[in-house]
Amino acid sequence: MSFPKQNKPRLALAALIAASVVLGMALSWTALGRQFDNYAYDFLFRALQPDPWDATSIILAIDEPTLAKYGGNAGLRGALAAGLERIAPAKPAAVAIDVVLAENGLRDADARLETAFAATPNLVLPAYILRDGTWENPIPRFAAHAAAIGQVHASLDKFDSVSREAPLMKAGGRIRRWSLALEAFHVRVGGTILESPEELVVGSVHIPSTLKDAFVDGRMLRIRYPPVKMGGIPQISVAELDANPALAAKFSGKTVFVGVTAQASGDNRITPYSNTEPVPGIEINASEYETIARRMFLVDARWLAAAAVSLVLASLVGLAFALTSGTRPDWIANAAAVAVLAASQAVPAVAFTRSTVWPWLPGTLSVVFAIASSAFWRQMVVRRALNQADAEKTRYQRAMQFVTHEMRTPLTAIQGSSELISRYGAMPEAKRKQMAEMINAESKRLARMIETFLSVERLSAGQMDMKQERFPLADVVEACVARARAYAERKSIEIEVEPIPSCELQGDRELMEYAIYNLLTNAVKYSPERTRVTVLSEDGRGDRVHVASLVRLTIQDQGIGMDKKEVRRVFEKFYRTKSAEQSGELGTGIGLSIVEQIVTQHGGTIQVESEPGKGSRFTLVLKRA
Ligand code: ADP
């Protein structure tokens, strides 16, 4: 029975790699995992900033000096009206307002603001959803002048409150509203907003944004904040305009976002850039607008793609370890592992430059786990190889002890006899002849022992020349049985031979005889007295697939048998089972390893079935000539 011993550790490694990827993916789905991925995103966001561009939007800011001048929050509408009046002559393309307009204010201020709204084309006013799920809209006198109403909800990360994306749509009750920025873009380019499950289309711009839940926050958009070098979206405050009315020219043809930037207003958010300094909400609206207008969309990679790439990377690690284990120095696998780890870091960065948000954690974790488990695997394999070598060494030493012990007996006999012959010249002829015959027989036995020992080594080294001749199987079996019968008699064991099909084998007859004789003597050796050994043969018809070109030869005994674990090891050099050792029968544990070599060299296989205490069946499956 030949076991593919090489494959078992490799399979274990493959399983470890697969487990690494599964664990990597699973951990990256946890809340903590997502957090890590967010930090990686922020890192790439800062590291790979786009080149500055000319913004098509501008912020009309109600800042601290403006509030101071117009009387704080009470004067907000006055400031707003003043700002709109100042920029109107410059003809902005659209104006989006993020100031609460949901209730009536002072009569004069509201009247002035309404007039200013009426004079503003492409006006977008804000709305937001209250806690009870209803919309808080601008009062009708203002709403009447709006080209569109846009929602001004933010989307802050659940865990760290960083504003990475914006909801393009919000639903309250059964009413859905697009975001203020999207509406500002929409009223500017005209037409309608077309929806599909995967994207929104405004004019010629396709915004990739999946519809997740039509009645919550259906569609998210990752905001591309302007690079730090750009210094944010341009801003001019109402107070500045009052002081320098010529600044109004800067609003010409722009989409204007009007909102409170005074820090005390509390409308500030953290962005991936501003870890310490919050950005006013109105600037985030304008950034969302720039993302759409410049089509700088960041799309999330598909989960399956991330899983596939993680698997490829982890497999590369496993492959490096599998290919170098045992034969090459460890540093090659280690270097390969570092290279794969670097590659796993490069993937998200390269993807980011191609506007794809690639999750960092799954690949990184998969590779790290793969490296750890591969290193562990290597340790185990090396240790096992060492253990095996150790075991083989002790078995070899024991066999050597046995052989030297065995050799001593014939040597003593030869020595004694030859001494007697030389000392007593006047020895009777008959006695002299008997001694000479004994010397001859014992030296032949010695030669055979040495021959057997050497043939194992030569066979396994492939140095043994194998003859190529045709010979009948039945002849070989007959010769072996005849020799083995003499050996079996001492234990009163009967060897029964069933009819052998008349077929020829091709190869080395002497070696084949050695193999079959060995199986026969083992069967006798490891059986109690007065049992039976049976030799039977059949052609390939016994196989599940009919193979007429094969012939099977089975040697069956009623002996001590072996358990499954022992069966697996009997072809190892110098291996003997415990029960064989205890049986008192002498042996080296190399016979079967030679038998296996011979059979495989003849293109055949050997199978063992055995049960402790019941007996064993050794079957040779041989090729017909
Ligand atoms: P040896 O017989 O010299 O020990 P082998 O290589 O021929 O060496 O056999 C290896 C081992 O396989 C034996 O020591 C014995 O434990 C087991 N074995 C071989 N043949 C049989 C058999 N017919 N029944 C039970 N055990 C066997």
Q: How far apart are alpha carbons 367 and 131 in whole angstroms?
A: 45
* Cβ of residue 347 lying under 6 Å from some atom of ligand 1: no
The residue whose CB lies within 8 Å of the most ligand 1 atoms, and thus the one to mutate among 518, 570, 575, 619, is: 570
Is residue 203 within 8 Å of residue 188, measured between CB atoms?
A: no
Nearest-atom index, ligand 1, CA of 527: 24
Query: pLDDT-derived band of residue 569, with 50, 70 and 90 as boundaries?
Result: very high
Instruction: Say how far apart CA 134 and CA 131 lie, in whole Å.
Output: 7
Tokens 């913004």 -> residue:
55
Strands 469-472 and 94-98: unpaired
Residue to substitute in 400, 403, 493, 526 for testing ligand 1 pocket (most ligand atoms within 8 angstroms of CB): 526
- Is 554 near ligand 1, meaning CB less than 6 Å away? no
Atom of ligand 1 nearest to the CA of 555: 23
Which of 3.30.565.10, 3.30.930.10, 3.40.50.150, 3.30.1180.20 would CATH assign to domain 469-623?
Answer: 3.30.565.10
Mean pLDDT (the chain, rounded): 89
In short, whether 113's Cβ falls inside 6 Å of ligand 1 is no
From ligand 1's centre to the CA of 576, what distance in Å? 6
Cβ contact 500:473 at 8 Å: yes
Per-residue confidence at 574, pLDDT binned at 50, 70, 90? Answer: confident
Average pLDDT value for residue range 405-434: 83
CA-nearest residue, atom 14 of ligand 1:
576
End-to-end CA distance of the chain: 22
CA 9 to ligand 1 centroid distance, Å:
27
Considering only CA atoms, which of 405, 320, 303, 418 is closest in space to residue 356? Answer: 303
Which residues, 6 or more positions from 130, have their beta carbon under 8 angstroms from its beta carbon? 136, 172
Please say if the pLDDT value at position 542 is more than 70. no
What is the reported pTM? 0.64
Written as one letter, the residue type at 492 is: S
558 lines ligand 1 (CB under 6 A): no
Longest dimension (CA), the chain: 155
pLDDT at 458 over 70: no
Q: Is the separation of the CB atoms in 25 and 363 below 8 Å?
A: no
Query: Under a CB-based contact definition with an 8 Å cutoff, are residues 579 and 610 in contact?
Result: no
Q: pLDDT band at residue 4, thresholds of 50, 70 and 90?
A: very low
Is 70 exceeded by the pLDDT of residue 544? no
CA dihedral 37, 40, 46, 47 (to 10 degrees): -140
Q: Rounded mean pLDDT of 507-533?
A: 92
Q: What residue ranges of the chain are covered by domains with CATH 3.30.565.10?
A: 469-623
Of ligand 1's listed atoms, the one at least distance from the Cα of 588 is: 3
Quickly tell me which residue has 């011979």 as its tokens: 598
208-212, 460-464, 492-496, 602-606: least confident range? 460-464
Name the strand (E) or helix (H) holding 193: strand 193-195
Ligand 1 atom 19 nearest Cα: 522
Helix (H) or strand (E) holding 471: strand 469-472
Q: What is the pLDDT of residue 66?
A: 97
pLDDT of residue 419: 87
Q: Are 251 and 87 in contact (CB under 8 A)?
A: yes
Residue of the CA atom closest to atom 7 of ligand 1:
591
CA 184 – CA 188 distance, rounded (Å): 6
